Amino acid sequence: PGAAAAAWGGPGWRLPGRVLELVFSYLELRELRSCALVCKLWHRVLHGDENSEVWRSLAARCLAEEALRTDILCNVPTYKGKVRAFHHAFSTNDCSRNVYIKKNGFTLHRNPIAQSTDGARTKIGFSEGRHAWEVWWEGPLGTVAVIGIATKRAAMQCQGYVALLGSDDQSWGWNLVDNNLLHNGEVNGSFPQCNNAPKYQIGERIRVILDMEDKTLAFERGYEFLGVAFRGLPKVCLYPAVSAVYGNTEVTLVYLGKPLDG
């Protein structure tokens, strides 16, 4: 980057923004991160327009066509946001052996394995900042369907049909079947805290909000804030995660970025 700054970003030669944008559109994310550090001009070209040709081209290369042409990313308005969501999606290397990530890159499919509970974590966890993501089931919930967060040490598979996410001190979960909050193998009360709380409906998008500054985990349904579910989270790296038991059920997770206040 230093040499590039001297050659391209110095006062003697400044390429027009449109030319820089065209050049950057051929680079991968790691290279773009380095370019953004070269000078203010390059940073402005890269981050000034999240729908620029740079991010449009990168999205076309790294995202599956299905993810771009369906409504999976309908709540991620920019191409830069779509690229970011892909890099925060479920990990193909950090999930139960009984699940796989579909070609769209965002949906987990649980194989019909008897007497097994299976989960998955995302590729990237968080130890600071505020983050939001959406999760929704595209098949039957079964007896247990849990969304929440987990450390790297939390198990992603176990025998029987149990609430895996929340079964130890390394994970925190909300069981959508019975509306119970789970942590350290115990029920931490019902959620949301209201009389006759509605049960989850298949296809309904739940927004999860992790605040590592306040150390809280909260949920929204249909843009209705349901409240804070967990407080006093540890200052460790926490990953969005899910666990499921029903054969052939599918769960989609999409990272949205910093949550909007209000």
Question: Residue 10 has what pLDDT?
Answer: 52
Q: For 162-260, where are the alpha helices, taking DSSP H only?
A: none
Q: Is the pLDDT of residue 88 over 70?
A: yes
Distance between CA atoms of residues 236 and 125, nearest Å: 9
Domains of the chain: residue spans and CATH: 17-85 (no CATH), 91-257 (2.60.120.920)
Mean per-residue pLDDT of the chain:
91
pLDDT tens digit sequence for 22-79: 888 888 888 888 888 888 888 888 888 899 999 999 999 999 999 999 999 999 999 9
Q: Is the pLDDT of residue 182 over 70?
A: yes
pLDDT tens digit sequence for 139-160: 999 999 999 999 999 999 999 9
Question: Among 5-9, 157-161, 175-179, which is the least confidently predicted range?
Answer: 5-9
The average pLDDT across 115-126 equals: 98
C-alpha angle 146/148/150, rounded to 5°? 110
Q: Is the pLDDT of residue 17 over 80?
A: no
The percent of residues in the chain predicted with pLDDT above 90, rounded, is 76
Distance between CA atoms of residues 185 and 164, nearest Å: 9
Q: Which residue has the tokens 């150390």?
A: 215
CA 255 vs. chain centroid, Å, equals: 3
Distance between CA atoms of residues 49 and 62, nearest Å: 19
List the beta bridge partners of residue 207: 134, 220
Contact 118, 146 (CB under 8 A): no
Question: Residue 197 has what pLDDT?
Answer: 80
Q: Which residues contact 179 (CB under 8 A, 6 or more apart)?
A: 190, 191, 192, 197, 199
The average pLDDT across 213-226 equals: 94
Distance between CA atoms of residues 58 and 80, nearest Å: 8
Q: Is the pLDDT of residue 11 over 50?
A: no
Q: Which residue has the tokens 């001190």?
A: 169
Q: Is the pLDDT of residue 193 over 80?
A: yes
Question: Residue 28 has what pLDDT?
Answer: 87
Contact 81, 132 (CB under 8 A): no
Q: Is the pLDDT of residue 7 over 60?
A: no
